[in-house]
Amino acid sequence: MKSNLSRRIQALEPSATLAMAAKAKELKAAGRTVYDLSLGEPDFCTPQHICEAAVAAMQSGQTHYTVASGIPALKEAVIQQYKERHGLDYSLANVVVSNGAKHALHNIFTVLIDEGEEVIIPAPYWVSYAELVKLAGGVPVIVSTRQENNFKLTAAQLRENCTEKTKCLLLCSPSNPTGSMYSGDELGELADVVLEKDLWVISDEIYENLIYGDNVFVSFPTVRPGLQERTCLVNGVSKTYAMTGWRIGWTIAPADVSKKMASLQSQETSNPCSISQYAALAALQGSQQCVADMLAEFAKRRDFCARRIEEIQGLSCPVMGGAFYAFINISAHLGRKYGDKMIATDTDWCLELLEKKGVAMVMGSAFGAPGYARASFATSMENLEKAFALIEEFVAE
């Protein structure tokens, strides 16, 4: 009998972040106490004024299909935001609203990548990038970066990894999973190679509002002239406004790319949820105090995690400029025994930590960086205090 499954789907790995979160939930449901640092999902409720806008949208009949690529009002709000914050000019023809930034990425790869074309992805990278590239028939070219360099790709590395088949570079700053950020100068150096090699860039800017201390967020197309016509910007409301469940993200791309993305979406999913689109509109247009309040809380947690990682023997992590992840180097604790059990890999370490101490983190190898574990601090301070006390116990034992 012929296989039921296509080759592309057989090669697809499930999302490790979502799998780890599901495992933590399963243990909780079975009655275990679990401190879940697995998922990058703000623990705050979606702000009230956004929920009220969704109710108002439902009650006023905004419950039908919209234009497949999203309502013009939301696109206008996205355009205005990029104009005000970054001085970039876009029009309605550049914006496509999708079912979350993940869906936006899937659409971009489908529209840009031909079979066998290469996409350069600096590692550590967010789990879905490589899988979505493969799903579109592309080849992810994973380029490892170093902790000493705060996990940033250098211009020399980019140049060395370009081949005739290289189509684009994928950037995520601030980064999931490391929290590290590129400066304007560093982006400029990468941009010079991008222009020289005639590459596309996908710039995932979903954490642009979660920035700590003196760090400054720089949107990629602003660093050199001529980048807007070769860059697809990805952003959304999930992280900034604690709206992960509403599923709204967007792409800002050159008009020929966004036109094809809109056609693809019109065949695949039609519009993203009409009610969520009105909620996202309220998020962008309403007071941004809720963002500042959540950021202040994240900043306290980030400082706490940085301090605890430094205190616990054998652990270290890069400087967390933004996002809400600590990417912890656990390599000093690998190749050792915990009880009778040999802890050889980061996966062993994470699974044993979950099993023995009830702390859930995601293994670095899922992000292309063995020897690390990612802790999301999008959870309460109380959970973090307890979790780090248990991690300290675990490594001491």
Residues of this chain that interact with ligand GLU (CB under 6 A) are 15, 17-18, 39-41, 102, 126-128, 176
Q: Which does 39 bind (CB under 5 to 8 A by kind): ligand PMP, ligand GLU, none?
A: ligand GLU
Closer to ligand PMP by Cβ: residue 103 or 308: 103
Q: Binding of ligand PMP at residue 101 (CB under 6 A)?
A: yes
* Residue from the set 118, 186, 189, 204 that interacts with ligand PMP by CB under 6 A: 204
End-to-end CA distance of the chain: 52
Q: Binding of ligand PMP at residue 100 (CB under 6 A)?
A: yes
**Nearest-approach distance from CB 101 to ligand PMP, in angstroms:** 3
* Residue from the set 50, 123, 202, 206 that interacts with ligand PMP by CB under 6 A: 206
Q: Binding of ligand PMP at residue 40 (CB under 6 A)?
A: yes
**Nearest-approach distance from CB 175 to ligand PMP, in angstroms:** 8
Q: Binding of ligand PMP at residue 298 (CB under 6 A)?
A: no
**Nearest-approach distance from CB 177 to ligand GLU, in angstroms:** 7
Closer to ligand GLU by Cβ: residue 127 or 305: 127
Q: Which does 15 bind (CB under 5 to 8 A by kind): ligand GLU, ligand PMP, none?
A: ligand GLU
Closer to ligand PMP by Cβ: residue 117 or 204: 204
**Total binding residues for ligand PMP by CB under 6 A?**
13
Q: What would the x/- binding string for ligand PMP be over residues 163 to 202, using CB under 6 A?
A: ---------x---x--------------------------
**Nearest-approach distance from CB 99 to ligand GLU, in angstroms:** 12
Q: Which does 18 bind (CB under 5 to 8 A by kind): ligand GLU, ligand PMP, none?
A: ligand GLU
Q: Which does 47 bind (CB under 5 to 8 A by kind): ligand GLU, ligand PMP, none?
A: none
- CA-to-CA separations, 46 to 193, 242, 286, in angstroms, rounded: 40, 5, 13
Q: Which does 326 bind (CB under 5 to 8 A by kind): ligand PMP, ligand GLU, none?
A: none
Closer to ligand PMP by Cβ: residue 100 or 364: 100
- CA-to-CA separations, 204 to 159, 169, 304, in angstroms, rounded: 21, 11, 27
Q: Binding of ligand PMP at residue 244 (CB under 6 A)?
A: yes
**Nearest-approach distance from CB 225 to ligand PMP, in angstroms:** 27
375 φ, ψ (degrees, to nearest 5): -110, 125
The three state secondary structure string of the chain is CCCCCCHHHHCCCCCHHHHHHHHHHHHHHCCCCCEECCCCCCCCCCCHHHHHHHHHHHHCCCCCCCCCCCCHHHHHHHHHHHHHHHCCCCCHHHEEEECCHHHHHHHHHHHHCCCCCEEEEEECCCCHHHHHHHHCCCEEEEEECCHHHCCCCCHHHHHHCCCCCEEEEEEECCCCCCCCCCCHHHHHHHHHHHHHHCCEEEEECCCCCCECCCCCCCCHHHCCCCCHHHEEEEEECCCCCCCHHHCCEEEECCHHHHHHHHHHHHHHCCCCCHHHHHHHHHHHHCCCHHHHHHHHHHHHHHHHHHHHHHHCCCCECCCCCECCEEEEECHHHCCEEECCEEECCHHHHHHHHHHHHCEECEEHHHHCCCCEEEEECCCCHHHHHHHHHHHHHHHHC
Closer to ligand GLU by Cβ: residue 217 or 278: 217
**Nearest-approach distance from CB 176 to ligand PMP, in angstroms:** 4
**Residues engaged in binding ligand PMP (CB under 6 A):** 40, 100-102, 126, 172, 176, 204, 206, 236, 238, 244, 249
